[in-house]
Amino acid sequence: MPAPLALTLDLIARAHPDPVADDATALRLLTDAELLPGLERAVAGKPGRPDEIWVFAYGSLMWRPEFAVAERRIGTVRGFHRRFCLLQRRFRGTRERPGFVLALDRGGTCKGVAFRLAGDDPVAVLMPVWRREMRGNGYEARWLPVETAEGRVHALAFVVNRLGDRYAGRLAEAEIADRIAAACGHVGPSAEYLLRTVEACAALGIRDRHLSALQALVAERLRGCG
């Protein structure tokens, strides 16, 4: 049985007891009209079987997918790893105290969940997840091969936009933990996003050294807030 997590909801709540107001100016969100051409190009370039639409989840999509799922498989992407490298100045952070969310960055491997989406119209089926992930200009969408026990599938994955102003680069885990522990936006603390992802990975039997180290470091910093 794995050891209990150092990071807990109670610890997070005690460190961030007060709600945070939304600041819409901290991050401009693209409209559906602005998002649609990119989604249509992505659908037109989809490899694999035309009657299957897969999405690769490695962060919040694992625990809050927000789309109808026809099938799910544990799978591995090669050439990218899961990392807290995307700054969040809204939602789970502010301009003054930006948090982090996960993205796929170059190198290594990442184990996550491949979801096959239900529905016949790829654009309509993918728009909710496309809107959620792409409206903040933090990601690039790519079709990546995902190795699963049942065979390879090509899934839409959200890779960090290294040219964007939200890309933080490869910071030390101690610095990432400092920012995650301090950050809270109108949706909630950055540490809660980390905890939910760690819990989702544990439930799926996915081990991730980066997440495991960060939850312990963030818990240590939150305990010092009391």
d(CA 223, CA 226): 6
Residues 6+ apart with CB under 8 A from 132: 66
Cα dihedral 19, 25, 30, 32 sign: positive
d(CA 109, CA 218): 24
d(CA 203, CA 63): 10
d(CA 102, CA 110): 12
Please state the φ and ψ torsions of residue 165, each to the nearest 5 degrees: -75, -5
H-type alpha helices, the chain: 9-15, 32-44, 60-63, 122-134, 173-182, 190-204, 209-223
**Closest listed residue to residue 112, CA positions, set 184, 66, 160, 63:** 63
Catalytic residue chosen out of the listed positions 52, 133, 140, 147: 133
Q: Assess whether 133 carries a catalytic annotation.
A: yes
Query: Catalytic residue positions?
Result: 133
